[in-house]
């Protein structure tokens, strides 16, 4: 049975460990094999990948496998936001599973029966098989154990699990072959390596005249629709977009009212009295608390902050209520006993030497002794810590709080846990950090406490919730369009509109709203049109009403949707033309040209500029200007260049050529590594793009 469990564990590992492209996508079991699909029923189709329809049942099977594995690892149920991420992972798994399988088939990549046998019990054992059948006593792989396990599959009932495990390692081997096919195809010629080496090591000194675009006011440049269209057509690939929906929305919090607070305070008062009189504290907590009873004994350092601030505590006494945000807590000390570890509380002032020399250490010690003397003569310890402390505790008066043995460096710990009473230790203590002036605020103790805690959240009452819903329902019910929605919001000073632009179809977040999946589904519904107002959604203890103000479909953005971005780009082009026109015919040195142009022209020296960097110190990325400058003769200058942030004229002052490379082996290896790190990702992205994916998940989740 232990071996079967081990195979089950390794099967899960093999399923979960196969990384594909941009993320880790589980490829396991018989999921790569053919699956039946529902034909002609669009209502069950989650999407389409490379011409293959994905029905709900198939998608859910992959999702449930990922979900079960995740929940098994974290030992709890997945949250809604976690499940949203797992659905994304399941979808990506299917994309790569289907699209890649077609690529494997096209290339004829497969694993023969002989190769599979070799991976399980031959000379080239798969890592997951090796790990599953390694003898824990010897640390050696046991091939005989594999053979024995396979012979007993039918008797143990482990054949289905083994088939799944075997398929997983087979898929892993296929993916490895494909990966190797891509990465091993990378080759760098000697000429390429030489060119790269020279680009990295040829260094130029330049003098640069720079006139920033912002030197011309935006208001001084007019941009026509024709110019926007022309720029858009020349740069259309920059404006590819995914599906998007733009929303305006209003949130109405469901927060406890003053009446709710008053009622809650009275309830806490009654609970405090009942808790003090209770004879069965665990039952009382389980009845009245939001969290179950935990009977663990706690050292003082482990107590809730409010309790260890007032320790020592009394057995049978109820402390509180204390609040943190909207959560209130009552604590009852059920029992007190000595544990096995000492706890203490101390404050310190750390004086660090300026360096490791004997003189610096002597100076730090003298300063520590002087501060200690001042404290002995009545100076406030916390004030002295704030003034002289050199670590993070200075801001809290040197307070280290409670800590157990084993937490501090030995010399410090010996001093603190060697003290038997409160007060200032007689002399500074030296550690590797410096000299510590130590004040014991709670001497060592092995005392532990069993604490019963009643923790309650302040929630809005039904009446308060109904009132908030009535406001939300009125806004939704009286708004038949975006215009009416905006007008109704203006009538209520308690409401304000927020916007979320271009929300993706698989988003969970909408603006500052988390877990807003239902709102996204409404926005993408085929029944929702621009101008529609949503019903009331309850999201994170608040009611939300939204209106759909815009739709963007996958493809190229409409000019009107990116008009602001286009206008800024075209405006810079126009400014560049104006600046270049003004510079036309300019003569003399760069300093003279700058002086004639005006105060907006800047001249800078640029040292240690390499062709590979593409950047001019002080100006940022200007690859065109650098490229042209490197092609100049010494003392020559470029024509005015339309740069990233302004117009540039570069003058080559000096060019130091790269030394003659004696051995380009390292350069070749560097380039190969750089390219192979990208080749798989690029290939997978290309395959994904060609897969003609239709994603309809928004209909279901």
4-8, 219-223, 477-481: which has the minimum mean pLDDT? 4-8
Contact 364, 351 (CB under 8 A): yes
Average pLDDT, stretch 281-292?
A: 93
The predicted pLDDT at position 539 comes to 93
Given the structure tokens 């003609």, which residue do they identify? 692
**DSSP assignment string, 134-194:** B-TTT--B-HHHHHHHHHTHHHHT-HHHHHHHHHHHHHHHHHHHHHHHHHTT----HHHHH
Average pLDDT, stretch 72-81?
A: 85
C-alpha distance from residue 236 to each of 562, 629, 642 (Å):
11, 29, 20
pLDDT at residue 306 greater than cutoff 70: yes
The predicted pLDDT at position 20 comes to 32
**DSSP assignment string, 512-572:** TBSS-HHHHHHHH-TT--TT-B---EE-SSEEEEEEEEEEE-SEEPPGGGGHHHHHHHHHH
Where does residue 235 rank: exposed (0-12), middle (13-18), buried (19+ CB within 10 A)?
exposed
What is the band of 8 on the pLDDT scale with cuts at 50, 70, 90?
A: very low
451 DSSP β-pair partners: 333
The predicted pLDDT at position 218 comes to 94
Where does residue 206 rank: exposed (0-12), middle (13-18), buried (19+ CB within 10 A)?
buried
The predicted pLDDT at position 74 comes to 83
pLDDT digits (tens, 9 = 90+) for 510-521: 999 988 999 999
pLDDT digits (tens, 9 = 90+) for 632-660: 999 999 999 999 999 999 999 999 999 98
Q: How many CB atoms lie within 10 A of CB 227?
A: 17
The predicted pLDDT at position 620 comes to 87
- Gap between the Cα atoms of 429 and 349, Å rounded: 10
143-152, 622-631, 667-676: which has the minimum mean pLDDT? 143-152
Average pLDDT, stretch 477-488?
A: 95
Where does residue 445 rank: exposed (0-12), middle (13-18), buried (19+ CB within 10 A)?
middle
Given the structure tokens 């290939």, which residue do they identify? 683
The predicted pLDDT at position 71 comes to 85
The predicted pLDDT at position 42 comes to 63
pLDDT at residue 31 greater than cutoff 70: no
DSSP 8-state secondary structure symbol assigned to residue 21: T
Cα-Cα end-to-end distance for the chain: 40
Phi-psi region of 21 (alpha: psi -120 to 50; beta: other; left: phi over 0): left
Strands 423-424 and 399-404: unpaired
- Our measurement of the distance from residue 315's CA atom to the centroid of its chain's CA atoms, rounded to an integer in Å, reads 45
What is the band of 4 on the pLDDT scale with cuts at 50, 70, 90?
A: very low
pLDDT digits (tens, 9 = 90+) for 386-438: 999 989 899 999 999 889 888 899 999 999 999 989 999 999 999 999 999 99
- Gap between the Cα atoms of 524 and 534, Å rounded: 12
pLDDT digits (tens, 9 = 90+) for 337-393: 998 889 999 999 999 999 889 999 999 999 999 999 999 999 999 999 999 998 989
pLDDT at residue 485 greater than cutoff 60: yes
The predicted pLDDT at position 149 comes to 87
Q: Which residues contact 602 (CB under 8 A, 6 or more apart)?
A: 209, 210, 211, 212, 594
**DSSP assignment string, 245-264:** EEEEEEEEE----HHHHHHH
Length of the chain: 701
The predicted pLDDT at position 131 comes to 87
pLDDT at residue 487 greater than cutoff 50: yes
Across 36-61, b (16+ Cβ under 10 Å) vs e yields eeeeeeeebbbbbbbebbbbbebbee
- Gap between the Cα atoms of 546 and 529, Å rounded: 12
Q: What is the pLDDT of the chain when averaged over all its residues?
A: 88
Phi, psi of 22, rounded to the nearest 5 degrees: -75, -15
- Gap between the Cα atoms of 471 and 477, Å rounded: 10
pLDDT at residue 19 greater than cutoff 70: no
Contact 451, 316 (CB under 8 A): no
Q: Which residues contact 607 (CB under 8 A, 6 or more apart)?
A: 205, 617
pLDDT at residue 75 greater than cutoff 90: no
The more confidently predicted of residues 207 and 661 is: 207
Average pLDDT, stretch 12-26?
A: 36
Contact 307, 319 (CB under 8 A): yes
Where does residue 343 rank: exposed (0-12), middle (13-18), buried (19+ CB within 10 A)?
buried
- Gap between the Cα atoms of 10 and 13, Å rounded: 5
Grouping H, G, I as helix, E, B as strand and the rest as coil, residue 502 is strand
What is the band of 475 on the pLDDT scale with cuts at 50, 70, 90?
A: very high
Percentage of residues in the chain with pLDDT exceeding 90?
60
Contact 257, 464 (CB under 8 A): yes
Given the structure tokens 């800590």, which residue do they identify? 403
pLDDT digits (tens, 9 = 90+) for 225-257: 999 999 999 999 999 999 999 999 999 999 888
Contact 260, 595 (CB under 8 A): no
Phi-psi region of 434 (alpha: psi -120 to 50; beta: other; left: phi over 0): left
- Gap between the Cα atoms of 493 and 473, Å rounded: 17
C-alpha distance from residue 673 to each of 157, 661, 681 (Å):
46, 20, 14
What is the band of 324 on the pLDDT scale with cuts at 50, 70, 90?
A: confident
Average pLDDT, stretch 278-293?
A: 93
């Amino acid at each position: 049975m232990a071996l079967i469990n081990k195979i089950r564990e390794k099967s899960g590992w093999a399923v979960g460990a196969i990384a594909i492209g941009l993320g880790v996508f589980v490829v396991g079991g018989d999921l790569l094999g053919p699956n039946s699909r529902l034909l002609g029923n669009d209502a069950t189709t989650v999407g389409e990948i490379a011409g293959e329809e994905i029905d709900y049942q198939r998608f859910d099977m992959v999702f449930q496998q990922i979900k079960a594995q995740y929940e098994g690892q974290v030992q709890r149920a997945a949250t809604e936001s976690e499940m949203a991420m797992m659905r994304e992972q399941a979808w990506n798994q299917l994309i790569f599973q289907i699209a890649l399988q077609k690529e494997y088939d096209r290339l004829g990549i497969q694993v023969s029966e002989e190769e599979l046998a070799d991976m399980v019990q031959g000379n080239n054992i798969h890592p997951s098989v090796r790990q599953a059948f390694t003898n824990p006593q010897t640390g050696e792989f046991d091939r005989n154990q594999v053979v024995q396990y396979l012979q007993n599959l039918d008797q143990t009932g482990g054949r289905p699990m083994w088939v799944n495990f075997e398929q997983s390692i087979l898929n892993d081997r296929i993916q490895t072959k494909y990966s190797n096919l891509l990465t091993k195809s990378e080759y760098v010629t000697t000429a390429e390596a030489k060119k790269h080496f020279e680009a990295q090591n040829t260094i130029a000194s330049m003098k640069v005249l720079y006139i920033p675009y912002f030197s011309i006011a935006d208001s001084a440049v007019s941009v026509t629709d024709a110019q926007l269209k022309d720029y858009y057509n020349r740069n259309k690939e920059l404006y590819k977009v995914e599906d998007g929906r733009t929303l305006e929305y209003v949130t109405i919090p469901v927060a406890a009212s003053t009446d709710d607070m008053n009622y809650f305070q009275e309830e806490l008062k009654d609970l405090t009295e009942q808790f003090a009189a209770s004879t069965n504290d665990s039952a009382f907590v389980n009845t009245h608390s939001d969290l179950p009873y935990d009977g663990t004994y706690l050292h003082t350092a482990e107590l809730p902050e409010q309790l260890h601030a007032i320790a020592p505590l009394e057995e049978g006494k109820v402390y509180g209520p204390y609040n943190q945000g909207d959560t209130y807590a009552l604590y009852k000390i059920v029992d007190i006993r000595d544990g096995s570890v000492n706890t203490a509380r101390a404050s310190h002032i750390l004086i660090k030497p300026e360096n490791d020399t004997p003189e610096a250490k002597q100076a730090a010690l003298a300063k520590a002794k002087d501060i200690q003397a001042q404290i002995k003569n009545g100076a406030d310890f916390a004030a002295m810590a704030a003034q002289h402390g050199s670590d993070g505790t200075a801001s809290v008066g040197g307070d280290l709080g409670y800590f157990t043995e084993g937490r501090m460096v030995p010399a410090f710990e010996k001093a603190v846990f060697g003290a038997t009473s409160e007060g200032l230790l007689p002399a500074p203590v030296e550690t590797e950090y410096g000299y510590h002036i130590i004040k014991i605020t709670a001497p060592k103790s092995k005392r532990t406490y069993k604490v019963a805690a009643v923790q309650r959240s302040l929630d809005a009452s039904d009446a308060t919730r109904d009132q908030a819903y009535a406001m939300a329902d009125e806004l939704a019910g009286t708004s038949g369009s975006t215009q009416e929605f905006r007008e109704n919001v203006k009538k209520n000073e308690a409401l304000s509109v927020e916007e979320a632009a271009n929300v993706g179809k698989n988003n969970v977040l909408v603006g500052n709203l988390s877990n807003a999946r239902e709102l996204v589904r409404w926005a993408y519904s085929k029944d929702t049109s621009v101008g529609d107002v949503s019903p009331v959604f309850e999201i994170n203890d608040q009611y939300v009403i939204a209106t759909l103000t815009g739709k963007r479909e996958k493809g190229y953005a409409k000019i009107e949707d990116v008009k602001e971005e286009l206008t800024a780009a075209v405006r810079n082009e126009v400014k560049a033309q104006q600046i270049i026109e003004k510079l036309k015919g300019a003569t003399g040195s760069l300093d003279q040209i700058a002086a004639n142009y005006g105060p907006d022209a800047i001249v800078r020296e640029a040292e240690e500029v390499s062709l590979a960097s593409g950047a001019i110190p002080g100006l940022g990325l200007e690859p065109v200007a650098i490229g042209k400058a490197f092609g100049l003769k010494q003392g020559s200058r470029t024509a005015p260049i339309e740069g990233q942030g302004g117009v540039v004229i570069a003058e080559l002052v000096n060019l130091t050529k790269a030394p003659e490379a004696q051995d380009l082996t390292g350069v070749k290896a560097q380039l190969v590594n750089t390219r192979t790190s990208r080749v798989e990702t690029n290939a997978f992205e290309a395959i994904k793009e060609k897969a003609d994916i239709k994603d309809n998940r928004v209909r279901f989740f």
